[in-house]
Amino acid sequence: MGVIKTITANCKDCYKCVRHCPMKAIRVAGGHAEVIDELCVVCGTCVRMCPQGAKQVMDSKGAVRELLASGARVVLSVAPSFVASFAGVSPGAFAAAARGLGFAGIFETAEAAQYVARRSLATVDDCAAPAIATSCPVVVNLVERYYPHLLEHLIPVASPMVAHGRMLKSCMGSDVKVVFAGPCIAKKDEAGREETFGAIDAALTFQELQDLFEQAGIDPIAAASTATMPTIVAPGGADCADCA
Ligand code: SF4
Ligand code: SF4
């Protein structure tokens, strides 16, 4: 699934993205720089380097709006770095703002990280040493596409995002829709992978979430703070092995 496209109308053919792509995953086709999806690890370098804003990241806002309008219970799994991206917004105010968008619940992705860490420790001996953690989808993409001889070093455990999606659905019901929000565009790619399919229904960047707030006329800083974010009590207790 391609996450990054070139807006040809904005592209000035400077080829800065071609020069800076660490994987040489951009070719010139029809005079414009075009990402080769099969070679791209979704590191985001070309998006940052393009002076014209011509590298467009997959927009998930429409999919999230549709989910929220569908009548389904939709919950938000939010990466812990929201405190940096939404500076000055308390966790309670953030949760209140997200509820204002229509989310039925807001949970921190970090609550799955403890299960991922525990499962990683338990399975680290199952893979070749040195073990490579799989929490970052860019690292996984890099190994799969460029260093396949290192595949046996990948720890066979889901990322916190995927584990949290599974955990939320396991605890709240399989009909619940889970939207992830975080700082990284590679999570969009990870959410669409065949082996993680169904865990996360849509992945937003924090910028997209901010856009949704603005379009809905919601100012998270001004949102009345509710209680602290709730915590899911995993049915598997301390192990929750099925989620990670
Ligand atoms: S850096 Fe941007 S403007 Fe330059 S070639 Fe790449 S997409 Fe086009
Ligand atoms: S996201 Fe990274 S790997 Fe993919 S085309 Fe851009 S710079 Fe290259």
Question: Is any atom of ligand 2 closer than 6 Å to the C-beta of 142?
Answer: no
149 shares its domain with 219: yes
Provide the pLDDT for residue 164. Answer: 95
- Dist. CA 18 → ligand 1 center (Å): 8
83 shares a domain with 15: no
Cis ω on the peptide bond leading into residue 220 (within 30° of 0)?
no
176 lines ligand 2 (CB under 6 A): no
Shared domain for 120 and 27, answered yes or no, is: no
* Same domain for 162 and 41: no
pLDDT at 196 over 70: yes
- The answer to whether residues 134 and 66 belong to one domain is yes
Q: Let me know whether 34 and 80 are in one domain.
A: no
Sheet strands (E) in the chain: 4-6, 26-29, 32-35, 55-57, 74-78, 105-108, 177-182, 202-205
- Give the range of the structural domain holding residue 53, as residue numbers without chain letter: 4-57
Q: Is 33 found in the same domain as 102?
A: no
At 73-113, the pLDDT tens digits run 999 999 999 999 999 898 888 998 999 999 999 999 998 99
**Ligand 2 atom closest to residue 17's alpha carbon, by position in its atom list:** 7
150 pocket-lining for ligand 1 (C-beta < 6 Å): no
26 lines ligand 1 (CB under 6 A): no
Q: Whose CA is nearest to atom 3 of ligand 1?
A: 11
Return d(Cα 4, Cα 17) in angstroms, integer.
Answer: 12
Judged against a pLDDT cut of 60, whether residue 49 lies above it is answered with yes
